[in-house]
Amino acid sequence: MSRTVVRLGSVLMVAWLLLLAGAPESRAFGSVRPVPGPVVRGYDPPANDWLPGHRGVDLAAPVGTVVRAAASGRVSVAQVIAGRGVVTIVHGELRTTYEPVRASVRVGDQVAAGDPIGTVEAGHCDGGCLHFGLKRGDDYLDPLGAVQVRLLPASAVAQARKLAAERAAALAAGAAEASGSGVLLNPVGGRISSPFGRRFHPIFHEWRLHAGVDLRASCGTPIRAAADGVVQSVSYDSSGGHRLIIAHAGGLTTHYLHAQKRYRVRRGQKVKRGQVVGFVGSTGWSTACHLHLTTKLNGRLVDPARYL
């Protein structure tokens, strides 16, 4: 299949998903916030189940503030658990949780987005706050991360899973035929500002191999893992600045250069496609904020554009 046909296919797929996502029963989370207050503690999921972390967001809310359903669904929990009032609402395969809350709804109640479900109780933060969580199965998600948590119809979810399985298969096969197929996620979503290959080096003013692509992104843009994998190394050096390498199936590695400060992940840590691993910076030999992405297949440089 030609690259154009593949591209057209993915464009149509995205258009179709957006169309479905626009249906009334599939509004994004975040369109209704359960309480109006600002985030006082962000989403910071632990690397492993047994490590401490913060599996939701805390929204400032004085005790007594009315708590509203973030999306329509059915109440599956409305009780005091370990001294803390908890409400859970099921939305298809997603669940939102709200605590500490004095519930005004009962198990089995059907609620619409924005319906009151109770009031904030004391106990989670000084001055009062609502802990708001989102789960799919056993996985915690960022309840304010609008992209991955659209309530899609089951058919679209199945289609997205199929696409993910195809990408995983292409990766496992060494991705030789992956040209332009989106096997890798563009980690910052930016256009390629400098392609792979020989170029006149902006700092050294000589022709050198540009061993990757530069992706346009402003300082502080989240850098996302290009595919599922395991962190191979996190390091600093004078050329790459803060450098991260992730190993994927099929002998492929992705290398991220010039990030701000430290990456958010550690060596040996498993990462998911799309997981935020760090933030765009300009450390090392870099003249302005951007992400330099290198890909290697079995240790040999390959053009990342083949996989994006």
Cα–Cα dist 142/121, whole Å: 22
| 214 part of the interface to Zn ion, by CB under 5 A | yes
> How many Cβ atoms are within 10 Å of 249's Cβ, its own excluded?
17
Asked if residue 34 lies in contact with residue 98, where contact means CB atoms within 8 angstroms, the answer is yes
- Closest distance of CB 214 from Zn ion, Å: 4
Using the minimum distance from each CB to Zn ion, give the nearer residue, 22 or 197.
197
Nearer to Zn ion, 68 or 167 (CB): 68
Rule CB under 5 A: say whether 264 interacts with Zn ion: no
Rule CB under 5 A: say whether 58 interacts with Zn ion. yes
Return all residues near 30 (Cβ < 8 A) that are at least 6 apart.
70, 143, 144, 145, 146, 149
Which one, of 294, 232, 301, 296, lies nearest residue 263 by Cα?
Answer: 232
Q: Which stretch binds Zn ion (CB under 5 A): 24-32, 53-61, 79-87, 143-151?
A: 53-61
What does the longest C-alpha to C-alpha distance in the chain come to?
70
> How far apart, in whole angstroms, are the C-alpha atoms of residue 219 and residue 84?
41
- Residue 22 CB, nearest approach to Zn ion (Å): 32
Contact with Zn ion (CB under 5 A) among 95, 243, 273, 292? 292
Options 98-106, 171-179, 182-190, 291-299: segment touching Zn ion (CB under 5 A): 291-299
99 is an interface residue for Zn ion by CB under 5 A: no
Q: With CB under 5 A, what is the number of residues at the site for Zn ion?
A: 4
Provide the minimum distance between the beta carbon of 213 and Zn ion in the complex, in angstroms, as a whole number.
Answer: 7
Nearer to Zn ion, 2 or 287 (CB): 287
Query: From CA 87, how far away is CA 282, in angstroms rounded?
Result: 44
With respect to Zn ion, which residue has the nearer C-beta, 131 or 248?
131
H helices of 173-270, where?
none
Least distance (Å) between residue 223 CB and Zn ion: 14
For 238, counting Cβ atoms within 10 Å of its Cβ (0-12 exposed, 13-18 middle, 19+ buried), the class is exposed
Beta carbon of residue 276, minimum distance to Zn ion (angstroms, whole number): 19
Six token digits for residue 114: 């924005």
Residues 147-186: x where in contact with Zn ion by CB under 5 A, - otherwise, as a string: ----------------------------------------
Binding pattern for the stretch 105-144 against Zn ion, x by CB under 5 A and - elsewhere: --------------------------x-------------
Q: Does 273 bind Zn ion (CB under 5 A)?
A: no
What is each CA distance from 287 to 95, 193, 209, 242, in whole angstroms?
A: 45, 13, 17, 14
- What is d(CA 297, CA 211) in angstroms, rounded to the nearest whole number? 13
* Binding interface with Zn ion (CB under 5 A): 58, 131, 214, 292
